[in-house]
Amino acid sequence: MSPETFRSYAHQAVDWTADYLQSIEHYPVKAQVKPGDTTAQLPTSPPVQGESMDAIFNDFKKTIIPGMTHWQHPAFFAYFPANASPPSLLAEILCNALAAQCMSWQTSPAATELETHMLDWLRQLIGLPAEFQGVIQDTASTATLCALLAARETAADFSVNHQGLTNHRPMTAYCSQEAHSSVDKAIAIAGIGTMYLRKIPVDHQFAMNVTALAEAIEHDIAMGYVPTCVIATLGTTGVGGVDALNAIGKICQHYHIWLHVDAAWAGSALILPEYRWMIDGIAAVDSLVFNPHKWLLTQFDCSAFYVRDASRLTQTFTVLPEYLKTREDSEVINYRDWGIALGRRFRALKLWFVLRSYGQEGLQAHLRAHIQLAQMLADAIDAAEDFALLAPPAFGLVCFRYQPQQCNDTSELNALNALLLEKLNQSGKLYLTHTKIGDIYGLRMAIGGVMTKAEHVDNAWILIQNMART
Ligand SMILES: *Cc1c(COP(=O)(O)O)cnc(C)c1O
């Protein structure tokens, strides 16, 4: 492709992008396709001769777009937001242009130094003490795995990497019953074994029962096991529960257990002084992850992983073959040694664009607006006789169900709400997902899109009521 042809198609791509963002509300939020619909439109074998960019671009619009769910749609309320602000999108365009592989300082010094600097800016914004150092990971799942591997090596005096787990007493780990599935996955991959992961019950506010945690640890010690890591959650996926770091931290310090904090979604709220109470007890925390790619206007992927002692990471992950040695190794950070992958994208650029273009106050205003919308929706649900909140609103998350007076059978209500969810999502006008609290099935509405305004939440609430009642 000649530079001039590239320029012309690049302009088309950008025009398409601007049109898309402007008209996004005309798309059905959730893709209205069935399994196999997209595949059926693709040739079974690759083209022998190259095709024109016009043909490819047309097929992108015709074949791919109908099979996409529109995460940036202002009525996207499913899972958690993955909010991509325009400044972050612009930075990603430039990052794609550079197409740099930033595994070592030398392979792109500015990328490494900007990453160090942006994670320090973010650290200040969320109020972590100065000893915490950060690194960008692709996802919170990866960050939690890295934390567990570092915790495992710390507990075993950095011997498992070499010896494997065979000569060790079983290690145990702890999280609440409401913790994210990425914890189970990390425990499995780290070789600790999911049978040694203790799921501690939660209290009525969906926070880990700290007495039960202490008892579980005592029990494991009596069995001859080695308590290795506690994973506390700030903002559980189901209902937004917040574990008590202070009390958990005291236990971890007493027993010398690594404390990792999974704040993937709700950690962004730490930029608000009114949510700083969540990290009371930070003195006992060894690592923390939160995702700017969920709620801090920075598009996927960008997960901020902080550790109190970065040498625990480098001791866990450094492998230095001859071909990776560089002259500056002793003076610089090589982020390849802070995680699993060798190759690294230049993700700090979008943070720089986002943090500069919004500023602290702009970011705070965004989050507060979402939190206020969630509160307003919760008030409306509370006031409706045939709907009920399943938990108090948490951050931008509201969990509720339809509960008409004439019906009080749990399984019937569960089926009614599952059907309601199906109908709502099929309408294309909004996208919600569900949660289960005990055996109660409910709908979950996560507010946090870049373009989500009061009208979108109001319209969603009207639609939910209408569909439920007809
Ligand atoms: C979203 C979420 C995760 C997983 O995040 P990824 O970045 O997709 O791996 C983990 N924990 C919690 C609490 C979450 O909300």
Tens of pLDDT, residue by residue, the chain (470 residues): 999 999 999 999 999 999 999 999 999 999 999 999 999 999 999 999 999 999 999 999 999 999 999 999 999 999 999 999 999 999 999 999 999 999 999 999 999 999 999 999 999 999 999 999 999 999 999 999 999 999 999 999 999 999 999 889 999 999 999 999 999 999 999 999 999 999 999 999 999 999 999 999 999 999 999 999 999 999 999 999 999 999 999 999 999 999 999 999 999 999 999 999 999 999 999 999 999 999 999 999 999 999 999 999 999 998 888 888 888 888 899 999 999 999 999 999 999 999 999 999 999 999 999 999 999 999 999 999 999 999 999 999 999 999 998 888 999 999 999 999 999 999 999 999 999 998 999 999 999 999 999 999 999 999 999 999 98
This prediction has a pTM of: 0.96
Closest atom, ligand 1, to C-alpha of 235: 13
Q: Are 208 and 176 in contact (CB under 8 A)?
A: yes
Element (DSSP H or E) covering residue 316: helix 310-317
Question: End-to-end CA distance of the chain, in Å?
Answer: 56
Query: In testing the pocket of ligand 1, which one of 144, 184, 262, 302 has its CB within 8 Å of the most ligand atoms?
Result: 262
**49 CA from centroid of ligand 1 (Å):** 42
Pocket test for ligand 1, best of 237, 298, 347 (most atoms within 8 A of CB): 237
Total residue length of the chain: 470
Q: Which residue has 């205003």 as its token pair?
A: 365
Neighbouring C-beta atoms of residue 146, cutoff 10 Å: 26
d(CA 105, CA 452): 39
Q: How far is the CA of 36 from the CAs of 40, 422, 428, in angstroms?
A: 6, 20, 19
Two structure tokens written together for 324: 């990776």
The finding on whether 264 has its CB within 6 A of some atom of ligand 1 is yes
**Residues 6 or more apart in contact with residue 304 via CB below 8 angstroms:** 119, 122, 134, 136, 267, 289, 290, 291, 292
| Residue 395 bridge partners (DSSP) | none
304: which strand partners? 136, 290
Is any ligand 1 atom within 6 A of the Cβ of residue 182?
yes
Beta bridge partners of 197: 173
* Distance in angstroms (rounded) separating the CA atoms of residues 227 and 452: 44
Give 306 Cα–ligand 1 centroid separation in angstroms.
15
> Which protein residue's CA is at the shortest distance from atom 12 of ligand 1?
264
- For a mutational test of ligand 1's pocket, the pick from 291, 293, 296, 301, i.e. the residue with the most ligand atoms closer than 8 A to its C-beta, is 291
DSSP codes of every residue in 43-81: -SS--SS---HHHHHHHIIIIIGGG---TTSTTB-SSS-
Q: Which helix (H) or strand (E) holds 200?
A: strand 197-200
Hey, what are 227's tokens? Answer: 């308590």
Edge-first strand listing for the sheet containing 440-446: 387-389, 397-402, 440-446, 433-437
179 C-alpha to ligand 1 centroid (Å): 10
In sequence order, the 6+-apart residues with CB closer than 8 A to the CB of 210 are 244, 247, 248, 251
C-alpha closest to that of 352 among 68, 64, 148, 121: 121
